[in-house]
Amino acid sequence: MIYGQSETKYPSGIEHVIVIGLDGTSPDGIRSARTPNMHHLIKEGSVKWNVRTVLPSSSSPNWASMIMGAGTEAHGIIDNDWGRADYSLPAIVTNEEGIFPTIFGWVRKYRSHAEIGAVYQWDGFGRLFEKSAVNFDKNMPNEDAATAEFCKYIAAKKPVLGFMHLDLVDDIGHEFGHGTEAYYSSITKVDSLIGLVLQSIKSAGIEKNTLVIITADHGGIGFGHGGATLEEAEITMILKGASVKKGYTIQQQVYTYDLAATIAFALHIVPPYAWTGRPIKSAFVPFSEPDNLFLGKTLIPTPKIYPWKYLYQEAGGLYKDSIAKVSMQTMAPLAKTYYSTDGSVPTTNSNIYKDPFKLDTTTVVTAISVDEKGNASIPVKAYYRFVSADHKPGVQTQFFSGEGQIWNHMPALQSLQSIGQWDSYEFELNRTQILSELKNGNTTFGCMLESNIQIDQSGLITFYLRSDDGSKLFVDNKEIINNDGDHGVIEKNGTAQLSIGLHKIKVEYYNGSGGFWLNLLYKGPGIAKQIVPANKLFK
């Protein structure tokens, strides 16, 4: 039976939709971790590796967009502080519970007797959907309990729509960092929990007429997310089950808000006009890719340059009286990797990477991959910096505790008492040193980093200050960059006309709470954009 519009064509054989949401799980995480269950679903079903999130790339806006079929501009959930009675942007239309319509409420509208349930680890998910629409609503304390409860629910009720949210990967990303061994291990753990859900579907006798969808809300970089980088704003969506094409890579562009429309499509339900999402029809038999699909140039996975990025830290590294060995790995199938060593973006006329090579001077290595169809990756850079054995650390850092304080903006560090001091080679936050200074679970602190920078060619110098949370840059006592406020890693830039010689340079930084990061880059006459290197910094 078709609900709402009898002449529309839909996929056949789907009576149940089970969605498993993996908070904070990136495409790189699925590729790099041991994920036999997800890779089996990819082999037997359809996948879209580069689904685009809404911005900000944080949880509430994206889980809301997924179940509400529209972006933040429509539903008004623009950050994790949103509440049903506490918001700045009202939804463009609301239902009887005062929120933008979700797939839960819309299935209830057309199937009044349907079994609908949600089990979620993050309690914030529970405020995003209509409570009146679900038969089963459980917030569980951890991923194991949530999975066990969801499996019991599937066995007992065989829901038309069941949604499970797991928060483990996001928790680990915030605590240990995205792209770390702990992060990949957490993805392996949730993959094993997916296996339990798949087994429960089979045991319930509904495997043949169930559509399983695996999705995430965002990725991450370093210890956080929320920004506009591919690491944060791309996720993977996997579909497997009745009418789903086998071993198919979806070509049409997909956004997080297409999830709700896809569920409605699978259940033969016409979505509300207020939704902007479109169903991923091409994942299903007998549907083809859209006739008006414009692929243009498709981004392919970037190559990796080793030493690879770690947390927010760029690829490459600082070498003290030693030589760097540069190696690369092409991640895209049927592609070649091209590179440059002058900071310029390589082309197919540049060097083709074949074998590792050595460097002993400060160099920016840039690489792209290009496949047989001419599709290219975005450029990836690695910054190799070298100092001699007799070069002393050129940056002095003073540490200020913010224990018991609430800092939303840069405090007046000069008025505070420094409780720690150390020297570094570059403008960075010494994580080991800082963690040793933090007490009683406090993560609020400030740092003042000072040095003198050697300019070898006079001209206009552009500085780039990246930080999580706020920071400011001063050159010769003049404020050049203001990157203040609570935020994830954001880069801002400013310029200064500098003469040959040494110039005083200072960075003020504060961390309101949670993860922290800081680094400083520059470019100018004869200087490609790069991390300000240690051999140009002096106390």
Phi, psi of 535 (to 5 degrees): -75, 0
Residue type, 161: L
Rounded to the nearest angstrom, the gap between the alpha carbon of residue 284 and the centroid of all alpha carbons in its chain is: 28
**Distance between CA atoms of 55 and 119, rounded to whole angstroms?**
25
Nearest to 529 by CA among 371, 365, 376: 365
**Given this model, what pLDDT does residue 298 score?**
84
Q: Name 398's bridge partners.
A: 421, 448
CATH number of this structure's domain 16-283 = 3.40.720.10
Coil, helix or strand at residue 172:
helix
In 63-170, the DSSP E strands lie at: 116-120, 136-139, 161-166
Q: For residue 39, what is the enclosing H or E element?
A: helix 36-44
Query: pLDDT by residue for the chain (539 residues), tens digit each?
Result: 555 544 459 999 999 999 999 999 999 999 999 999 999 999 999 999 999 999 999 999 999 999 999 999 999 999 999 999 999 999 999 999 999 999 999 999 999 999 999 999 999 999 999 999 999 999 999 999 999 999 999 999 999 999 999 999 999 999 899 999 999 999 999 999 999 999 999 999 999 999 999 999 999 988 888 888 899 999 999 999 999 999 999 999 999 999 999 999 999 999 999 999 999 999 999 999 999 999 888 889 899 999 998 877 889 999 999 999 999 999 998 999 999 999 999 999 999 999 999 999 999 999 999 999 999 999 999 999 999 999 999 999 999 999 999 999 999 999 999 999 999 999 999 988 999 999 888 899 999 999 999 999 999 999 999 998 999 999 999 999 999 999 878 899 999 999 999 999 999 999 998 888 899 999 999 999 999 999 999 99
Q: And the tokens for 443?
A: 């993560």
Nearest to 48 by CA among 262, 258, 253: 253
**Given this model, what pLDDT does residue 502 score?**
98
Q: Boundaries of CATH 2.60.120.1560 in the chain?
A: 395-538
- Please give the span between the terminal C-alpha atoms of the chain, in angstroms, as a whole number: 76
Q: For residue 459, what is the enclosing H or E element?
A: strand 459-468
In 167-209, the DSSP E strands lie at: none
**Given this model, what pLDDT does residue 2 score?**
52
**Given this model, what pLDDT does residue 5 score?**
47
**Distance between CA atoms of 250 and 48, rounded to whole angstroms?**
5
Coil, helix or strand at residue 382:
strand
Residue type, 129: F
CB 467 within 8 A of CB 483: yes
| Exposure string for 319-333, b = 16+ CB within 10 A, e = fewer | beeeebebebebbbe
**Distance between CA atoms of 508 and 106, rounded to whole angstroms?**
50
Residue type, 85: A
**Distance between CA atoms of 518 and 431, rounded to whole angstroms?**
11
CB 104 within 8 A of CB 129: yes
Coil, helix or strand at residue 472:
strand
Q: Name 508's bridge partners.
A: 448, 472
**Distance between CA atoms of 402 and 68, rounded to whole angstroms?**
40
Phi, psi of 234 (to 5 degrees): -125, 140
**Distance between CA atoms of 254 and 269, rounded to whole angstroms?**
20
| Exposure string for 176-186, b = 16+ CB within 10 A, e = fewer | bbbbbeebbeb
Instruction: For 394-449, give the DSSP string.
Output: -EEEEEEE-TT---SS---GGGSPP-EEEEESSSB--HHHHHHH--TT---EEEEE
Report CA Rg, the chain.
Answer: 25
Residue by residue, what is the 3-state secondary structure of 245-277? Answer: CCCEECCCCCECCHHHHHHHHHCCECCCCCCCC
**Given this model, what pLDDT does residue 3 score?**
54
Q: Boundaries of CATH 3.40.720.10 in the chain?
A: 16-283
| Exposure string for 102-117, b = 16+ CB within 10 A, e = fewer | bbbbbbbeebeeebbb
**Distance between CA atoms of 452 and 202, rounded to whole angstroms?**
66
CATH number of this structure's domain 304-387 = 2.60.40
Q: Name 201's bridge partners.
A: none
Residue by residue, what is the 3-state secondary structure of 352-376? Answer: ECCCCEEECCCEEEEEEEEECCCCE
**Given this model, what pLDDT does residue 440 score?**
86
CATH topology assigned to domain 395-538 = Jelly Rolls (2.60.120)
Q: And the tokens for 467?
A: 């930080």
Q: Boundaries of CATH 2.60.40 in the chain?
A: 304-387
Q: Which residues contact 6 (CB under 8 A, 6 or more apart)?
A: none
Q: What is the dihedral of CA 453, 459, 465, 471, to 10 degrees?
A: 70
